[in-house]
Amino acid sequence: MKHLLFTLSWIVTFAAHAQDKPKLVVGIVVDQMRQEYLYRFEKKFGTGGFRRLISDGFMLKNAHYNYIPTYTGPGHASIYTGTTPAIHGIIGNDWYDKVGKKDVNCVRDERQKPVGNDKGNGDVSPWRMLSSTITDELKLATQKRAKVIGLSMKDRGAVLPAGHLADGAYWFDGLSGKFISSTYYKPGLPVWLDKFNVLNLADQYLNKEWKTLLPIEQYTESGPDDSPYETKLKKDDRPVFPYKLKELRTQYPNFDLITTVAFGDDLLTDAAKAAVDGEELGKDDITDFLAVSYSTPDIIGHAMGPNSVEIEDTYLRLDKNLEDLLSDLDKKVGVGQYVVFLTADHAVADVPLYLKDNKLPAGIFHLANVEAGLNDYLKKYFGEKKIIEKIYNDQIFLNQEAFDGDLKASGIDMLVATELIGQYLLRVEGVADVYPASVLRSADYGEKGLKGNAVRGYNRKRSGDIAYVLEPNWIGWGGIVGTTHGSGYTYDTHVPVIFYGWGIKKGSSAQYHTITDIAPTLSVLLKIKFPSGCTGQPVGEITDY
């Protein structure tokens, strides 16, 4: 028996290397996943999900985001372009457009219309992303014969990974309970997705009860289920298991509840399997690409925090989703015929109040109060002149019209205003440092530390005039319950990176790597060009053998 297993293993390995390229690449991004979760929940994972990827693949144990802010939009763009916001231009999920003087979304495109639901959020495209993606380069290398599909519960989680040349990108629409798209791709949904939507799986999942997979007393890797640091899903109720979704859904618009409970991952896995079938991915000798982004962990993580039983149960269920998806790929594409990478778009901070209650430094940065105080402070020097136009994503946009006039005088006034703002902010509790645009523009792209993260996240045309960073475990969002992400500290930057399947040897590395190394590593494996703005480097531990 052992001889037979060895022979089968040798045949699969030989076939994988004899084949010039994999039949399919599957990119899996988990929204808001810490590397630490792989260690904390390891004993409760099965053998076919996370453990399969880790034991039979290659894991980077020390992979990090190397820029600020660590948000969903920039994260997905950085993974797939192999560069940072300074170059690919996705500087946030939303940001202030200082030319148009309005807030904009990273994928919103008013020139497009929704497909699948006229009232859905389908006016989107990847047009604001300034670099090509690994998926774009695969399309170009194959004369567009490779199929590229993006899937997510969030529009940006599907659109940015799929790139500019995708055959389709599809995301969940809470209004209809269906997966929809945009006219940027096609005028209608593919037949396979129409058939999938008819199943009304979101409705079926929302008639279930969310209870823990294991007896709740076994969730010793998490804090108490009844915690004061968690958001209540139901008004005037406790955030505890079990959650009776049939009752809860009446308090949420249409099908929105599905994205806030673990069954959202089940629904996306169902959609991914349908896409493999419907698009016939991996069925010929031309490599295809399926980009899947699991959004639900982020929404649950924001509400409940990383120490919650809800998060642990979400990841135990996600482990089963991964096992289901990998088994499906084994059957439809073939063992050893596809390559998978799994990573996250960012990690997450602990709930600040929880840390404070446990005598650790942390806090909430109340922006409205700081902005009011800053404006009053500036009035002492500039009178009623409006100096600050907008504060967004920890960046201050100055009102350029306030400095119109004599070039020399206005230049001096701007320098004075910038210095005054910096001095004020550094006296505010929770602020670690302040970087004027002139400092970020003149700094080297390879700068280390927090300043380097700020440099790589700073886009000269889109970012503000002054950037500030908060102290560790300070967040500029929320209050007593829940948490967020966005900083350049390790709790937000340290994420899993695992490669598995075709052409990937088994092993791990504790060497430092950045998230921007994923795309060029895939480029080497697929023998195609690096994305146009790529600044990352191939992971030598994987490619050099």
pLDDT tens readout for residues 238-288: 899 999 999 999 989 999 999 999 999 999 999 999 999 999 999 999 999
Is pLDDT above 70 for 236? no
Instruction: Annotate 135-197 with DSSP letters as a single string.
Output: HHHHHHHTTT-S-EEEEESSHHHHHHHH-SS-SEEEEEETTTTEEEEETTT-SS--HHHHHHH
- Give yes or no on whether 20-354+488-543 and 366-429+431-470 have one common fold: no
Q: What is the mean pLDDT of residues 95-109?
A: 97
3-state SS, residue 428: coil
pLDDT for the residue 4? 40
Query: Containing H/E element for 542?
Result: helix 540-543
pLDDT for the residue 235? 65
Residues whose CB falls within 8 Å of the CB of residue 89, separated by 6 or more in sequence, listed in order: 128, 129, 130, 131, 459, 461, 462
pLDDT digits (tens, 9 = 90+) for 365-377: 999 999 999 999 9
Q: What is the mean pLDDT of residues 168-197?
A: 98
Q: Regarding the domain with residue range 20-354+488-543, which homologous superfamily does it belong to in the CATH classification? A: Alkaline Phosphatase, subunit A (3.40.720.10)
Q: Please state the domain extents for the chain.
A: 20-354+488-543, 366-429+431-470
Q: Is 72 a catalytic residue?
A: yes
pLDDT tier for residue 409 given thresholds of 50, 70 and 90: low
Q: What is the mean pLDDT of residues 203-231?
A: 97
User: Minimal CA–CA distance to 84: which of 396, 350, 462?
Assistant: 462
User: Minimal CA–CA distance to 41: which of 347, 269, 309, 322?
Assistant: 309
Residues whose CB falls within 8 Å of the CB of residue 166, separated by 6 or more in sequence, listed in order: 135, 139, 148, 149, 150, 185
pLDDT for the residue 411? 75
Cα distances (Å, whole numbers) of residue 537 to 99, 137, 515, 516:
34, 16, 10, 7
Single-letter code of the amino acid located at 80: Y
Cα distances (Å, whole numbers) of residue 463 to 137, 376, 388, 430, 440:
27, 24, 14, 22, 11
Instruction: Annotate 38-80 with DSSP letters as a single string.
Output: HHHSGGGS-TTTHHHHHHHSEEETTEE--SS---HHHHHHHHH
Is pLDDT above 90 for 7? no
Is pLDDT above 90 for 404? no
pLDDT digits (tens, 9 = 90+) for 493-524: 999 999 999 999 999 999 999 999 999 999 99
% of the chain exceeding 90 in pLDDT: 91
Is pLDDT above 60 for 153? yes
| Gap between the Cα atoms of 250 and 252, Å rounded | 6
Instruction: Give the count of alpha carbons within 13 A of 493, CB side only.
Output: 21
pLDDT tier for residue 406 given thresholds of 50, 70 and 90: low
% of the chain exceeding 70 in pLDDT: 95
Matching residue, tokens 């390891």: 42
Tokens of 411: 């230049």
pLDDT tier for residue 5 given thresholds of 50, 70 and 90: very low
Catalytic residue, from 72, 418, 493, 514: name it: 72
User: Minimal CA–CA distance to 162: which of 88, 81, 105?
Assistant: 81
Neighbours of 199 (CB within 10 A): 12
Neighbours of 130 (CB within 10 A): 18
CATH of domain 366-429+431-470: 3.30.1360.150
How high does pLDDT run on average in the chain?
A: 94
Is pLDDT above 80 for 1? no
pLDDT digits (tens, 9 = 90+) for 55-80: 999 999 999 999 999 999 999 999 99
Fill in the DSSP letter of residue 494: B
pLDDT digits (tens, 9 = 90+) for 433-483: 999 999 999 999 999 999 999 999 999 999 999 999 999 999 997 678 999
- Longest CA–CA span in the chain (Å) reads 87
pLDDT tier for residue 10 given thresholds of 50, 70 and 90: very low
pLDDT for the residue 407? 52
pLDDT for the residue 290? 99
| Gap between the Cα atoms of 536 and 516, Å rounded | 5
